Amino acid sequence: MKNSFDEKILDEAQDWINANQKVVLATVIQTWGSSPRQVGSRMIVNEKGDFSGSVSGGCVESAVVSECLSLIKDNKPCKKIEFKVSNESAWEVGLACGGEIAVYIEQIH
Amino acid sequence: MKIKTLEEILKKKSSKTEFAILTNLENGDSEIYLPGTSPKGKFSKYAVEIENFFKSKKNGVIENSEIFVETYIKPIKVIIVGAVHIAQYLVDFAKSLNFEISIIDPRGYFASEQRFPDIKVINKWPKEAFEEIETNSSTALIALTHDPKIDDPALQYALKNKFYYIGALGSKKTHENRCQRLAEAGFTNDEINSIHGPIGIKLGGKSAPEIALSIIAQLVSQTYKK
């Protein structure tokens, strides 16, 4: 069950902003099949690539970080990214659990 | 998301006000929505869908749209009667599960704040204690004293106020006697059968933390059926 009022990730986002960092918020907006983190799970990424929180069980965080960095670099407001089942024969990012998730990334500005 | 929106979200969170964040995924516009009000602008035609997310306590994208809804729902109030050993473990489990616990126990030596730091402990008989707690059909009751003097008035209060989960600790025999007393007090069979007794799902364990785990598992499962 969600513990939304006690969830601290958005407070952390504000701390980062107050420290003059650029912050991208990543949110799980849809899941299909089995996925480790439920809809509404969040992580934040700054322009240095530091991150906090999670959107999966460690499967796609690194890909989300690089997408967030591109968003800052290209100065775009938002983007939707979908991650599907990983192909074991390829060194690509995917969800080993067999699920699919959609992550929405947006700059806090 | 605008910094202003983020600040507003944090304010609502710390005052524990129920709200939702509505995001237009096409352009990243987001807005705070309060349940019972009319959503503004582009979100206005999805009023029914947004309220449904609140009712089902879920987050998600509205079907055939590019609108994401994230709801912030108040924790569920759980009242424990009996500041006993099992209650200490229940408090530990409840912390990470969005339950807000209050404990009632008229026996002073049990209900010490030292045993339950950061928890509202009411050192009164149930009848008086319930005057201090706001309850409704989203409240749960866990009766742990298996002492009729203490448990029964609390169970009667919970039945009358239609708590969504009512559980009572005690053996089958203890529970049979309890049911009989409630029937004599005028409660219907349906009401009496709604009490989970003996409390908890069958795990097989007998230790205090194991019983607490079986109770909290039943409570979570009933919360999702609500």
User: In the structure encoding, which two tokens stand for residue B53, read together?
Assistant: 């997310």
Chain A residues in contact with B28 (beta carbon < 8 A): 77-78, 106-107
Note the pLDDT of residue A3: 53
Note the pLDDT of residue A93: 58
Report the residue from A5, A39, A77 with minimal CB separation from B60.
A39
User: In the structure encoding, which two tokens stand for residue B61, read together?
Assistant: 């994208």
Closest C-alpha to A42, from A69, A63, A71, A12? A12
Report the residue from A3, A6, A109 with minimal CB separation from B2.
A109
Residue B41: pLDDT band with limits 50, 70, 90 = confident
CATH homologous superfamily for the domain B76-225:
NAD(P)-binding Rossmann-like Domain (3.40.50.720)
Residues pairing with B45 in the sheet: none
Note the pLDDT of residue A2: 56
Complex ipTM over 0.95: no
Listed in order, the ranges of chain B carrying CATH 3.40.50.720 are: 76-225
CA–CA distance, A46 with A52 (Å, rounded to integer):
9
Among A80-94, B9-23, B56-70, the least confident range: A80-94
Note the pLDDT of residue A75: 94
Q: What is the mean pLDDT of residues B149-153?
A: 97
| Percent of chain B at pLDDT exceeding 90 | 77
B9, B68, B72, best to mutate vs chain A, most A CBs in 10 Å: B68
Say whether B72 and A30 touch across the interface (CB within 8 A).
no
Say whether A10 and B10 touch across the interface (CB within 8 A).
yes
CA–CA distance, A69 with A65 (Å, rounded to integer):
6
For B62, phi and psi rounded to 5 degrees? -65, 135
pTM of the model: 0.71
CA quadruple B1, B13, A40, B33: dihedral positive or negative? negative
CB-based contacts of B182: which residues, under 8 Å, 6+ apart?
Answer: B152, B155, B156, B159, B191, B192, B195
Residue A89: pLDDT band with limits 50, 70, 90 = very low
Distance from the Cα of A39 to chain B's closest Cα (Å) equals: 6
The 8-class DSSP code of residue B212 comes to H
Chain A: residue whose CA lies nearest to B223: A1
Closest C-alpha to B68, from A60, A25, A35, A7? A25
CA–CA distance, B183 with B200 (Å, rounded to integer):
22
Residue A27: pLDDT band with limits 50, 70, 90 = very high
Chain A residues in contact with B10 (beta carbon < 8 A): 10-11, 14
Note the pLDDT of residue B74: 82
Q: What is the mean pLDDT of residues B3-24?
A: 92
Q: So where are chain A's domains?
A: 7-108
